[in-house]
Structure 1
Amino acid sequence: MYHQVLLCFSLFAVGAFGQVLNETKIVYTRQGPIRGFRAPNYDVFEFLNIPYATAPTGVNKFKAPLAPPSWNATFNATDRRITCFQPIGDGSMQLAPGAVMQEDCLVANVYVPDVQDNNLPVLVDVHGGGYHVGDTSQSPIALVNSKRIVAVTFNYRLGIHGFLCLGTEVAPGNAGMKDQVALLRWVRDNIANFGGNPDEVTIAGCSAGGASVDTLLLSNATRGLFHKVIAESGCSLSSLAIQFDPLQNAIDHAVRLNFNDPTNVTALEEFYASLSLQNLTQSTWDYLYSRDSYFTFVPCVERNLGQERFLEQPPISILSNGDLSPQPILYGFADMEGFLRVGQFSQWIAAMNTNFSEFLTPDLMFDNEQQRQQVATEIRNFYFGPGALDSSQILSYIDYFSDVLFVHSILRAIPFHVRAGNNQIYLYEFAFTHNNSIQIPFTNVTGANHCEQHGVALGYLIDENSSEELVAMSQIMGEMYLNFITTGNPNSNSSIPVWPQVGLNRYPYLHISSNGTQMVIDGPNFQGEALANRTTFWDRMYELYGTRVPIPPSVSGSPHSVVLNKLWIICAMVALLRLN
């Protein structure tokens, strides 16, 4: 009787933004009762903007998250458009309409199908945005409407707010990743009340979201919090996924903001603690467009301060040591990932002609500047040839940024997992095109854009203007995701062919083509010779020149700090040599 009264009353409820809210559902959590609302046009209840943790504020804003608030009265989980602080761009990246940036931004959305089953598998989706921008606006509600899963999306602190890493009590580092861990712990403790199974959690994400879930797999802090991983267009080995020298990054950025005491770490942390988040975040916009594909304020290896650390060793060291949890992993990438950089093509192609070394990925190591320039010439010639670069080479330009930002790091990571005994890894390339596919400037070529496969699978790229072919592909991709989330295997009796696990040599893998909804299983040379040649080329680059090893922040230039950082590098290099 109590619930019936609530349902009748809710037919007349009005949300914060004026929309009429229909049938409601109340869930009782550790924090208190939460009222969700049936989504228009879906058999899904939405519980929006639930505080899953508390972000420290003021001078403590760079610290780990605190416990979430609790309440006695029913919490109305409506869309309050809460967003973490982030830079506002020039039109290419803007906040969702009505979004409000605030310091305590740690909220989650839970999507629950209207079914009697109370033990559904759970999908936790981590948004992308280079660790600098993003929010929960890309909803998985279409996939939840299958009535086979419960889904969760959430905010986490971004940019300097989330990833200032000084190695001090004020800014230990990785606040944004600790937010993600806090969310997973909230899911463990509360998702059963929403009808989800805390023992069947899949984490997924694309771009920085893909790099996040791949890095969550390497953290001791996440043991037992999830059971499967979908890493799209992102990887822990990508140069956008780790800071190589976080203290130096913080010093360099502070100097840009007129800080004048770069050798004093105490003064440095006081400087950052005193600045408003508006000033801090807006000043980082250009890191998203760095020529060397290094985004600066991203996850870091933490210094031991006697508190829980998210990342104790560099990802390359953890992978090399083979201390990995053999969980099912689905890796995917699009065939035109590098389209992300087409907006900079005219300016950057001229700079590439002048000094290509500015565009080298920062994780290669060189003995001296002469060797660096020699390697830059070799890489330039491999992609573009020895002549001057011009508009006719835009496809090579896209290939280059596809590889250095996303693709090769995924292909490089897979053998580490296989050597560690994981035989539950699946790999695919998304090359499907449709009536709204991107067209490459100066060509008649179309392709799949960065992270397009993720949006097609979750359904947020589908609308009333989508072609029948795209809708059909979304159903196929959604089925693939649902199979993996529920069983750890993307195969089923649907339109997807039998798709074996990937092996040490990174095949077989699934190639999703643009010929209708055709899919093929490809062998040792990938789909076409070009990607195989590019993969072999980058394998050789890392074999010849080695991998730059990220170091934790040292709080001073003391001999102890210098020795500690050298030991990090030596240990990582020894682990890498064991594999050769």
Structure 2
Amino acid sequence: MARLLLVLFLTALYKSVLCEEQESRIVQISQGPVRGYKDHEENLYTFFGIPYATAPTGQDRYKAPLPGPSWLTPFDADNDNIICPQAIIPAFKHLYKNADMRQNCLIANVYVPDTVEKSLPVLVVVHGGGFQVGSGNLLKVKKLVASNNIIAVTFNYRLGIHGFLCLGTQYAPGNAGMKDQVALLKWVNENIANFGGNPNDVTITGYSAGAVSVELLMLSPLAKGLFNKAIAESGGALGVFAMQTDPLENAKGFAKRFEIEHADDAYALEDFYKNASFETITSDSFFSEMFSPLFTPCIESEIGQEIFLADSPINILKSGDYEKVPFLVGFNDKEGISRIDSFETWKNNMNQKFSDFLPPDLQFRNKAEEELTAKDIKEFYFGDKKVDDDTILSFVDFMSDVSFAYPILKAVQLHANAGNNKIFLYLYNYVDELIPVVPHTDVKGATHCAQTFGVFDGYMFSNDTERDLPHDYKKHKVILRQMWGNFIKTGAPVPEGSSLATWPPTGADGSPHMLLGQSIELQDSALLQERRRMWDAVYSRHYRAPSQPQAFVLFSRNEL
């Protein structure tokens, strides 16, 4: 009898668990019904892999996205492994164990709290990865959603050559990946109310290249009115990898690797890319040795098609001709730690020829001027010392400023000068007991995108669950999610009446700004003032603006 009761109990338990595992919800969207499933960790439903648009194929594969498919029976939204074509970087291979790489990869993932409430605030997350790698589900946002009762949407967009080949022709006008992002925002605007979200209360957020994307979306007329708040973490539109300085040279350079004859000829170059195999244009991660990936957003030429960006970000910012929205923006105190792996190789090269390490968006009248500028910059960071183990922290500062800190601070200045009085600036420097020290020092620091890991689920790019994290870091993550949630819901990270430290908007000089670390403190001083002034002087004399693919304009018009 006891055995029979045990069998009956276990059978009932199994059925209960099975029922719980299969608990689902169907939502009707413009394309048809979609079925999402209850998450076992948080009180929410997930809808994975919904096709929001269609990636063109064949010779049209570099064009803007096409409308998504439609269906009559419920679409099972349960595939969270779809990624766009990309070369898998060995260091992150463990994150792509079950990756479902496909050309038609334009999918959205929707995280919905288990509530009957309607008109919830919406967060759209743009993933990072230098515009070359990554996916919408690389980092998870379940705890941010659950703790703030918001809806979040993550998604894929085309990467590398697939998304950012920019020839200025009918077949490859440029910015396909950014047009994917606009298509996603339009999809959200049309469908999110059916999930319980408010299409008029949408915040866009991104980290690294995703942060670049966020700021470019702020500047693009195509995205106007599709969101009303923005968060950019560790990246911005003025960064050295934000725009292709010379998209035609990048396209020619890659084609020449395959010994293409007449790669300098417009017809031959376009013919190569139109007919190149899928393997050819996906085989490379397209990261250059120094600062810039090859294929990133570009300024488009006027060829009779819809344009995402018709001018350089700095010109648009200076003009002020774009819609201003509340903007939460910042970076980490030691972003340059992300370059530490290259230090042993680069330090000797930097001592021999520091000019090789200048940002690619600088130009000089002659070699003498370039070498003199390089000498001044090297002395600013390293004094009369060599780049070696004893000055590795100066190396970290240099790399931080070139790639992230200075471009972000310059953009903040221009946004403020353009009339945006709702910019909330932060410097993130939280470290926990698991963070290693910078080699050759006893110093720790927050590396690239550390604040993103603080807000999102888990710990860094690892499989650690939050229950395994240090207690203080878990408390810190709760506070960050509260601030980010406040901003998503109100347009301010610390609204009136909050128990958190007061956080007013910043001015053009980067003051005040919030220090987000072991303690959270408002700083009245201008952020990195001396380092910023030095780069202001350099860029005022030597800035090289990104160019359009002008050589192809006449060629393209002849096709019309």
TM-score normalized with structure 2 length = 0.92
Instruction: Name the counterpart of 1:104.
Output: 104
Instruction: Name the counterpart of 2:7.
Output: none
Instruction: Name the counterpart of 2:421.
Output: 423
Compared CA separation, residues 369 and 93, structure 1 to 2 (3 A): farther
Compared CA separation, residues 107 and 92, structure 1 to 2 (3 A): closer
- Aligned partners of 1:260, 1:491: CA distance in 2, in Å? 59
In structure 2, the residue corresponding to 1:124 is in which secondary structure? strand
Which of 540, 549, 556 is residue 553 of structure 1 equivalent to?
549
Instruction: Name the counterpart of 1:44.
Output: 44
1:160-213 C-alpha deviation (Å, 9 max, x unpaired)? 111000011111100100000000000000000001100000000110000100
Instruction: Name the counterpart of 1:379.
Output: 377
In structure 2, the residue corresponding to 1:312 is in which secondary structure? coil
In structure 1, the residue corresponding to 2:390 is in which secondary structure? helix
1:431-487 C-alpha deviation (Å, 9 max, x unpaired)? 111112242111111111211101211234362221111011101000000100000
- Aligned partners of 2:336, 2:376: CA distance in 1, in Å? 20
Unpaired runs of 5+ residues, structure 2, are 1-14, 460-464
Larger mean CA deviation between 157-166 and 256-265 belongs to 256-265
Q: Does residue 277 in structure 1 map to residue 307 in structure 2?
A: no
Question: Given that residues 52 and 68 in structure 2 are in contact (C-alpha distance below 8 angstroms), is that contact kept between their aligned partners in structure 1?
Answer: yes
- Aligned partners of 1:10, 1:258: CA distance in 2, in Å? 62
Instruction: Name the counterpart of 2:216.
Output: 215
Instruction: Name the counterpart of 1:465.
Output: 468
Which residues of 2 match residues 477-556 of structure 1 at below 5 A? Answer: 477-492=480-495, 493-494=497-498, 496-514=500-518, 518-526=519-527, 531-543=528-540, 545-556=541-552
- Aligned partners of 1:108, 1:365: CA distance in 2, in Å? 40
Which residues of 2 match residues 257-276 of structure 1 at below 5 A? Answer: 257-276=258-277
Larger mean CA deviation between 257-266 and 205-214 belongs to 257-266
Unpaired runs of 5+ residues, structure 1, are 1-8, 14-19, 562-580
Compared CA separation, residues 363 and 286, structure 1 to 2 (3 A): closer
Instruction: Name the counterpart of 1:202.
Output: 203
Compared CA separation, residues 546 and 559, structure 1 to 2 (3 A): farther
Matched AA of 1:91: A
Question: Given that residues 459 and 474 in structure 1 are in contact (C-alpha distance below 8 angstroms), is that contact kept between their aligned partners in structure 2?
Answer: no
Question: Given that residues 459 and 478 in structure 1 are in contact (C-alpha distance below 8 angstroms), is that contact kept between their aligned partners in structure 2?
Answer: no
In structure 2, the residue corresponding to 1:445 is in which secondary structure? coil
In structure 1, the residue corresponding to 2:130 is in which secondary structure? coil
Compared CA separation, residues 48 and 557, structure 1 to 2 (3 A): closer
1:533-559 C-alpha deviation (Å, 9 max, x unpaired)? 21121122122x142111111244979
Residue 277 of structure 1 and its aligned partner are, at CA, apart by 2.9
Instruction: Name the counterpart of 1:441.
Output: 439
In structure 2, the residue corresponding to 1:277 is in which secondary structure? coil
Matched AA of 1:486: K
Compared CA separation, residues 11 and 264, structure 1 to 2 (3 A): farther
RMSD between superposed Cα atoms in Å: 2.0
Question: Given that residues 106 and 179 in structure 1 are in contact (C-alpha distance below 8 angstroms), is that contact kept between their aligned partners in structure 2?
Answer: yes
Instruction: Name the counterpart of 1:345.
Output: 343
Which residues of 2 match residues 281-360 of structure 1 at below 5 A? Answer: 281-287=282-288, 290-291=289-290, 293-360=291-358
- Aligned partners of 1:98, 1:329: CA distance in 2, in Å? 36
- Aligned partners of 2:248, 2:427: CA distance in 1, in Å? 37
- Aligned partners of 2:552, 2:217: CA distance in 1, in Å? 29
Question: Given that residues 88 and 95 in structure 1 are in contact (C-alpha distance below 8 angstroms), is that contact kept between their aligned partners in structure 2?
Answer: no
1:383-429 C-alpha deviation (Å, 9 max, x unpaired)? 11233321111111111111111111110011211111111100001
1:195-247 C-alpha deviation (Å, 9 max, x unpaired)? 11000000001100001001100001001101000011110000110011111
Instruction: Name the counterpart of 1:6.
Output: none
Residue 282 of structure 1 and its aligned partner are, at CA, apart by 2.2
Which residues of 2 match residues 14-29 of structure 1 at below 5 A? Answer: 21-29=21-29
Deviating beyond 4 angstroms after TM superposition, the runs of 4 or more aligned structure 1 residues are 9-13, 92-95, 556-561
Instruction: Name the counterpart of 2:9.
Output: none
Compared CA separation, residues 351 and 300, structure 1 to 2 (3 A): same
| Percentage of matched positions with identical amino acids | 43
Question: Given that residues 142 and 460 in structure 1 are in contact (C-alpha distance below 8 angstroms), is that contact kept between their aligned partners in structure 2?
Answer: no
- Aligned partners of 1:520, 1:133: CA distance in 2, in Å? 35
Question: Given that residues 89 and 285 in structure 1 are in contact (C-alpha distance below 8 angstroms), is that contact kept between their aligned partners in structure 2?
Answer: no
Compared CA separation, residues 54 and 373, structure 1 to 2 (3 A): same
TM-score normalized with structure 1 length = 0.89
Compared CA separation, residues 118 and 222, structure 1 to 2 (3 A): same
Question: Given that residues 54 and 69 in structure 1 are in contact (C-alpha distance below 8 angstroms), is that contact kept between their aligned partners in structure 2?
Answer: yes
Residue 79 of structure 1 and its aligned partner are, at CA, apart by 2.0
Residue 57 of structure 1 and its aligned partner are, at CA, apart by 1.1
- Aligned partners of 2:236, 2:80: CA distance in 1, in Å? 32
- Aligned partners of 2:407, 2:174: CA distance in 1, in Å? 24
Residue 278 of structure 1 and its aligned partner are, at CA, apart by 2.7
Question: Given that residues 300 and 552 in structure 1 are in contact (C-alpha distance below 8 angstroms), is that contact kept between their aligned partners in structure 2?
Answer: yes
Question: Given that residues 163 and 173 in structure 1 are in contact (C-alpha distance below 8 angstroms), is that contact kept between their aligned partners in structure 2?
Answer: yes
Residue 502 of structure 1 and its aligned partner are, at CA, apart by 0.2
Residue 329 of structure 1 and its aligned partner are, at CA, apart by 0.2
Question: Given that residues 88 and 285 in structure 1 are in contact (C-alpha distance below 8 angstroms), is that contact kept between their aligned partners in structure 2?
Answer: no
Compared CA separation, residues 467 and 216, structure 1 to 2 (3 A): same
Residue 42 of structure 1 and its aligned partner are, at CA, apart by 0.9
Instruction: Name the counterpart of 2:10.
Output: none
Residue 367 of structure 1 and its aligned partner are, at CA, apart by 1.5
Instruction: Name the counterpart of 1:568.
Output: none
Question: Given that residues 387 and 395 in structure 2 are in contact (C-alpha distance below 8 angstroms), is that contact kept between their aligned partners in structure 1?
Answer: no
Question: Given that residues 43 and 113 in structure 1 are in contact (C-alpha distance below 8 angstroms), is that contact kept between their aligned partners in structure 2?
Answer: yes
Q: Aligned pairs, how many?
A: 537
- Aligned partners of 1:447, 1:93: CA distance in 2, in Å? 25
Compared CA separation, residues 556 and 192, structure 1 to 2 (3 A): closer
Residue 10 of structure 1 and its aligned partner are, at CA, apart by 11
Instruction: Name the counterpart of 1:83.
Output: 83
- Aligned partners of 2:22, 2:276: CA distance in 1, in Å? 43
1:237-290 C-alpha deviation (Å, 9 max, x unpaired)? 001100111111101111122212122112111111222233222224442xx2
In structure 1, the residue corresponding to 2:273 is in which secondary structure? helix
Question: Given that residues 286 and 295 in structure 2 are in contact (C-alpha distance below 8 angstroms), is that contact kept between their aligned partners in structure 1?
Answer: no
- Aligned partners of 1:375, 1:21: CA distance in 2, in Å? 62
